[in-house]
């Protein structure tokens, strides 16, 4: 059994990689107890996640409190500790936390982008591999782990007859499928799971962050834009002071593949993306006012309505012509250059 976390000793500090699991608090405690005699600073790197929790999603203890309690137990001054998160709002969250609670302060709390570089480094670059021929589908919508936004998207696409206009996956678990039966939507449940051939290792683990089988890339060769159901969409945030903006490979691969996209994600996620330096498709292809809708369920509905509108407004030929226009290609090329530039930096 692994009782400690991976850590790397640098000249001035020790980097500890936090990996999400229910055992994370125990493993972090064991690791710090083993290292607490060091005089070096610590960097806790949780950049793969945006979590408001350290151990489980329904935890009553927020991530800052959980880490500070562990540091106190290990007799380590928080002022020697830098905490890195994949959440673009982590610094703001920490400022609000400090306003509410009188706890010792971390040295630094900051955002570290992980999935952008991971996507560029590990995914096959298919940005120049599209042919000029008409594609059979309007959009892709790939869904893995069951989440509220994906359940909502699945229900909408089936009910509005958009499944046949898309290349979709819904690899939902039994609990999620039972939910459709509970909603008297058994006809949907009977068609799940829908999946493309996944790449798995010898143990059967789905290697979703590695180059995939050709079937995976055929989804993009055969469709025009992506409806992205991100990991985070604001459905479960138990602390009023906590906010999320978090991107995974789902968004970055659309940009890396030179794909237009609608984003089912966090409140103001498109606004943050523009702040990083990327362009979106406002007034070119999509109405992106959904980004300003705070309520997550209403925001998801607005994205899905946009999907429906595009599919009813354009024929496949018209969509093909529009997505091959100089205006769209300028955005796609700009974003492709930007993601490669950021990955290198």
Question: Does 96 share its domain with 236?
Answer: no
Look at the chain and report how many structural domains it folds into. Answer: 2
> Where do the H-state alpha helices sit in 296-325?
296-313, 316-323
pTM for the full predicted model: 0.94
Assess whether 187 and 309 both reside in one domain: yes
Domain containing residue 246: CATH number: 3.40.50
Examine residue 154 and state whether it is found in any structural domain, yes or no.
yes
The tokens of 342 are what?
Answer: 């950021």
Considering 61, 81, 112, which residue would you say is the last residue of a domain?
112
CA angle in degrees (0–180, nearest 5) for 192-196-199? 125
Q: Which of 55, 108, 59 is nearest to 84 (CA)?
A: 108
Nearest-angstrom CA–CA distance, 319 and 323? 6
Tell me whether strands 13-17 and 7-9 are parallel, antiparallel or unpaired: antiparallel
pLDDT of 308 above 70: yes
Model confidence at 209, pLDDT cuts 50, 70, 90, reads: low
The position carrying tokens 């799940």 is 192
Does residue 161 share a domain with residue 27? no
Out of 78, 112, 146, a domain closes at 112
Sole residue written with tokens 């996944």: 198
Reported as a pLDDT band with limits 50, 70 and 90, residue 341 is: very high
pLDDT digits (tens, 9 = 90+) for 263-292: 999 999 999 999 999 999 998 999 999 999
Do 58 and 143 fall into the same domain?
Answer: no
- For residue 2, tell me if it sits in a domain: no
Let me know whether 84 and 191 are in one domain: no
Kindly state whether residue 1 falls inside one of the protein's structural domains.
no
**168 φ, ψ (degrees, to nearest 5):** -125, 155
User: Does residue 73 sit within a domain?
Assistant: yes
- Where a domain ends, among 88, 112, 136? 112
Residues 155 and 186 in one domain: yes
Distance CA 142, CA 230 (A): 10
- CA-closest candidate to residue 18, choices 39, 42, 40, 49: 49
The confidence score (pLDDT) of residue 117 equals 97
Please indicate, yes or no, whether residues 79 and 145 belong to a single structural domain of this protein.
no
Containing structural domain, residue 220: 118-344
* CA–CA gap between residue 19 and residue 272 (Å, rounded): 25
């Amino acid at each position: 059994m692994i009782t400690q976390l991976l850590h790397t000793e640098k000249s001035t500090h020790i980097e500890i990689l936090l990996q999400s699991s229910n055992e994370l608090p125990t493993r972090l405690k064991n690791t710090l107890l083993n290292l607490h005699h060091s005089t070096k600073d610590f960097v806790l790197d949780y950049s793969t996640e945006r979590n408001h929790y350290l151990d489980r999603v329904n935890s009553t203890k927020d991530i800052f409190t959980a880490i500070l309690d562990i540091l106190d137990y290990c007799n380590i001054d928080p002022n020697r500790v830098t905490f890195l998160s994949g959440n673009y709002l982590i610094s703001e969250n920490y400022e609000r936390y400090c306003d509410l609670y009188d706890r010792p302060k971390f040295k630094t709390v900051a955002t570290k982008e992980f999935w952008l570089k991971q996507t560029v480094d590990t995914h096959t670059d298919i940005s120049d591999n599209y042919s000029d021929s008409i594609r059979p589908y309007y959009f892709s919508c790939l869904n893995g782990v069951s989440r509220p936004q994906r359940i909502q998207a699945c229900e909408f696409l089936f009910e509005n007859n958009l499944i046949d206009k898309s290349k979709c996956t819904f690899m939902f678990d039994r609990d999620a499928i039972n939910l459709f039966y509970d909603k008297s939507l058994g006809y949907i449940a009977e068609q799940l799971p829908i999946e493309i051939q996944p790449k798995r290792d010898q143990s059967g683990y789905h290697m979703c962050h590695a180059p995939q089988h050709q079937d995976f890339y055929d989804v993009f060769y055969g469709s025009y834009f992506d409806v992205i159901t991100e990991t985070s969409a604001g459905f479960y945030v138990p602390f009023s002071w906590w906010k999320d903006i978090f991107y995974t490979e789902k968004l970055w691969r659309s940009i890396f593949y030179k794909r237009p996209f609608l984003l089912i994600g966090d409140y103001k996620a498109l606004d943050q993306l523009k702040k990083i330096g990327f362009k979106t498709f406002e007034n070119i292809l999509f109405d992106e006012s959904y980004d300003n809708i705070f309520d997550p369920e209403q925001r998801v509905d607005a994205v899905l309505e946009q999907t429906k509108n595009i599919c009813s407004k354009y024929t496949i030929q018209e969509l093909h012509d529009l997505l091959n226009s100089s205006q769209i290609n300028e955005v796609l090329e700009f974003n492709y250059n930007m993601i490669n530039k950021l990955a290198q930096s």
